[in-house]
Amino acid sequence: MNLIQSILTKNPCYTCGRTITPKGLMLHSVGCPQPSAAVFVKNWNSPSYDRACVHAFIDGNTGDVHQTLPWNRRGWHCGAAANNTHIGVEMCEPACIKYTSGANFTCSDLPTAKAVAARTYNSAVELFAMLCKKYNLDPLKDGVILSHKEGCARGIASNHGDPEHLWNQLGTGYTMDGFRKAVKAAMSAATPGDYTSITGTAKATVGQLVAYIKGKNPNVPKSVLDMAFLYLSEGAAEGIRGDVAFAQSCLETGNFAFAGSAVTLDQNNFCGMGVTANGMKGNSFPTAQAGIRAQIQHLKAYANTEPLKGECVDPRFQYVTRGCAEFVEWLGQKENPQGKGWATGAGYGEKILSILKAILSTKAEEEMEEEAVARYNKISEMPSYAQPTIIKMVDGGFIGGAGTKKDENNRPADLDLSIDMIRVFVTNDRAGLYDKKP
Ligand SMILES: [Zn+2]
C-alpha cells in the first residue's frame, strides 16, 4: 500500500480541529466516474468546501491511498452520528461508468471498471488492516467496519448505497462480509509498513550511535561513548532493537547531558526508569550495563509477550501490561490504542523516532577510525563494563602484557588492547568462552 500525505489543510473539517476517538471505519465509494484521487484532493482543499471531508481517497488508477485528514480528526463523510466515531475512506470509481438515475449506472468497459474496483478494494483492505491495528479494532466485531449503506441501515449514516452499488452492478462478487474477513486476514499477515516495531534487530551501528551523540553533545563523557555498543548487544540478547533504546535514552537524558533531567549519570538510569512523578529521582543501577539491560527488558515488556531470555533486572517489569505497545509509535499513552504506554507526554514515540531517523542518517566512518586507534594498557583505564572480563582473562592466563609493567593490582599495565578487541572479548565472555581454563 502506497500511503501519500495529502492533508486538506484548508478544509473546515481540518481547520476547526475537532477530534474523535476512532471506534470504527466506514467504507465509501465516491458515486461519480472519477478515478483520480488528486482531483478530489484539489477540489476539497478549500475553506469554502464545507459539504464534506473524509480521511482518505483511494486512487482508481494506481491504488495509492491519499490521506486527507489526520486519522483522529472528525470528518464529515456520512451525514450522521457515525461521523463522531468512524474514520471515513472513499474509493474512487472508474471513468467508464455513467450514472443514469440515483445509484444506477451503465458501463462502457467492464474489464477496465472491474480492474479499478479491484485496485481500490485491495488497497482498502490494507489500509483498514493498518488502521485496525493502530486503533486496536477487531474488524469482525459488529459495527466496527461498515459500508455507508450499512451505516444507513443502522440509522447512523445518510441514505446512500455505496460501495455495494458499485460492486454489485459491476458483478465483482465483493461483499462487506468478505471485505471484513479480508481485513482480518491482512492484519495477521503482516505488520503495517509505516509503523516501527520495537521487537527486532537494530539498524544503526555502534559507529552511528557514537557519531550521533558526539554531534549532539560535544562534551559527552567517554563512558557514554564506551557503552553505546551495550545498547546493541543487550538489545540483541532479548530480540529488541537496541538503536530504539539508544534513541529513547537520548530523549530521556537530553543527549546524556542530564540538564533538567530527573536522573543523573551516576545512577546508570538512562531511560527515566521509576520517575513516575515530577521531582522523583527514579531507579539506580550498579553498572551502566545493568541499567541498559533493565531498559531493554522494560521495552520488551511493552513490545511483546515473549519471556525474557536473561534474568530480570528490571524492577518495574511486572507493572507493564505485556505486549501493549508493539510499535515505537505506541510508547506514548496518548497515541496508544489501549491508553497504556511508557510515557504520558504527547508524541513520545514520534520524538524517539525522529531521533532514530537522525541516527540512521549519521555517517560513522570518522568516528570508527578514531575509535580504532585508541589503545588500552591498564585495566583501570578500560570501560567499566569490560573490566571484569579482562580481569578474568588475565587471571585465567588467556592474555598477558607486552612487557613487564604492572598496575596497582599487580596485573599487566601494557595489555595494548583496542576497543574493538575489548568488545569481542566481552562478547565471548558472555558466551561463556572464558569460564574454563584452557
Ligand atoms: Zn458514502
Listed residues 189, 215, 243: the one ending a domain = 189
326 & 413 share domain: no
- Give how far Cα 203 sits from Cα of 133, 241, 250, 288, Å: 24, 8, 17, 22
Question: Cα(160) to centroid of ligand 1, in Å?
Answer: 6
Share of the chain above pLDDT 70, in %: 96
Question: Cα(31) to centroid of ligand 1, in Å?
Answer: 8
C-alpha cell recorded at residue 425: 572479548
71 & 103 share domain: yes
For residue 237, tell me if it sits in a domain: yes
Question: Cα(164) to centroid of ligand 1, in Å?
Answer: 10
If you average pLDDT over every residue of the chain, what do you get? Answer: 92
- 343 strand-pairing partners: 332
For residue 365, tell me if it sits in a domain: no
Residue 337 has pLDDT above 80, yes or no: no
Question: Cα(173) to centroid of ligand 1, in Å?
Answer: 19
Question: Cα(159) to centroid of ligand 1, in Å?
Answer: 9
Question: Cα(221) to centroid of ligand 1, in Å?
Answer: 59
**pLDDT, average across residues 150-175:** 96
Question: Cα(337) to centroid of ligand 1, in Å?
Answer: 26
For residue 200, tell me if it sits in a domain: no
166 & 108 share domain: yes
Residue 372 has what pLDDT? Answer: 47
For residue 18, tell me if it sits in a domain: yes
352 & 409 share domain: no
- CATH code where residue 314 lies: 1.10.530.10
Strand (E) or helix (H) holding 105: strand 104-107
173 & 276 share domain: no
56 & 169 share domain: yes
351 & 417 share domain: no
Question: Cα(5) to centroid of ligand 1, in Å?
Answer: 21
199 vs 339, higher pLDDT: 199
Question: Cα(30) to centroid of ligand 1, in Å?
Answer: 7
Block residue for cell numbers 478494494: 121
Quote the number of domains for the chain. Answer: 3
In angstroms, the CA 281 to CA 250 distance is 18
The amino acid that residue 179 corresponds to is F
119 & 267 share domain: no
For residue 199, tell me if it sits in a domain: no
Strand (E) or helix (H) holding 100: strand 97-101
249 & 281 share domain: yes
Listed residues 331, 360, 389: the one ending a domain = 360
Residue 256 has pLDDT above 60, yes or no: yes
In angstroms, the CA 77 to CA 74 distance is 9
Instruction: State which residues form the domain around 381.
Output: 374-430
For residue 368, tell me if it sits in a domain: no
